Amino acid sequence: MTADDIRLARVRTFQPRRGRVSDRHEDALARLLPVYGVDETFEPEAAFGRSAPLVLEIGSGMGTATAEMAAADPDRDYLAVEVHPPGIANLLWLVAEGGLRNVRVFDGDALDLARTTLAPSSLSAVHVYFPDPWPKPRHHKRRIIAPEHVALLRSRLAPGGAFHCATDWAEYAARMLTVLSADPELVNTSEGFTPRPAHRPVTKFERRGVAAGREIFDLVFRRVE
């Protein structure tokens, strides 16, 4: 790890929140995390018991979108990264309830995982849906869609792999478009923003944003082949 990597690793792109964990979620964490959870020793074939394209889902929230996408996409494996205990627990419960064999969950920082564990060109897609917009200018350094973070995550994409972001924060959307467009190894699949792809479910969080009058922005880039 270089000095720049160490410096960047100290700036977290998320705010850890404990939140209230229900009895059902406490049970899921205790019973299911040992089954579906992974750590920094993650190896895709060992974790999933097969070799398949791998999707990195950064900030899976309460897990409903991740579970829905994985259920509709059984030929790919999903690695969901989240730090919010109720969200992790809820996704574990959804995975077990749905009998999903193609989802694993990592409790921690996706960027640390990318730096230390994920191999270059090992991902078929990176999903960053509704990340914290960190709206105050002094907090912009914490945004995950920043040039150095995009370069790291893009390096883990296989050629032709998709880098898909979504946000309901207009200023952040414009910045995302600028940052992704500036990466020399990413190409936009649209002229600017793109309509929501059918594979991305509409989440409860997204509906709340629409109800509040916020526009939803999707961006889909691909790594050049």
CATH of the domain at 113: 3.40.50.150
Mean of all residue pLDDT scores within the chain:
91
pLDDT, tens digit only, all 225 positions of the chain: 554 444 444 565 555 555 566 777 788 899 999 999 999 999 999 999 999 999 999 999 999 999 999 999 999 999 999 999 999 999 999 999 999 999 999 999 999 999 999 999 999 999 999 999 978 877 589 899 999 999 999 999 999 999 999 999 999 999 999 999 999 999 999 999 999 999 999 988 899 989 999 999 999 999 999
Find where tokens 């990264």 sit.
81
Find where tokens 């995302």 sit.
176
Distance CA 6, CA 1 (A): 7
Closest CA to 105 of 36, 34, 26: 36
What Rg do the C-alpha atoms of the chain give, in angstroms?
A: 17
| DSSP state letters, 43-79 | -HHHHHSS---EEEEE--TTSHHHHHHHHH-TTSEEE
220: left (phi over 0), alpha (psi -120 to 50) or beta: beta
Of 112, 132, 183, 218, catalytic: 132
| Cα distance from N-terminal residue to C-terminal residue, the chain | 27
Tokens of 200: 């991305």
Q: What is the pLDDT of residue 12?
A: 59
- Write the single-letter amino acid at 21: V
- Report the number of distinct structural domains present in the chain: 1
Would residue 73 show up in a list of annotated catalytic residues for this protein? Answer: no
Structural domain including 113 reads: 3-223
Q: What is the pLDDT of residue 6?
A: 42
Tokens of 87: 């969200």
Count other Cβ atoms within 10 Å, centred on residue 4: 9
Distance CA 218, CA 150 (A): 16
Whole-model pTM above 0.85? yes
| Full strand arrangement of the beta sheet holding 77-82 | 37-38, 103-107, 77-82, 54-58, 123-129, 157-167, 217-223, 186-188
- Write the single-letter amino acid at 166: A
Count other Cβ atoms within 10 Å, centred on residue 26: 13
Alpha carbon 135 to chain centroid distance? 19
Q: What is the pLDDT of residue 9?
A: 47
Q: 5-62: per-residue pLDDT in tens? A: 444 445 655 555 555 667 777 888 999 999 999 999 999 999 999 999 999 999 999 9
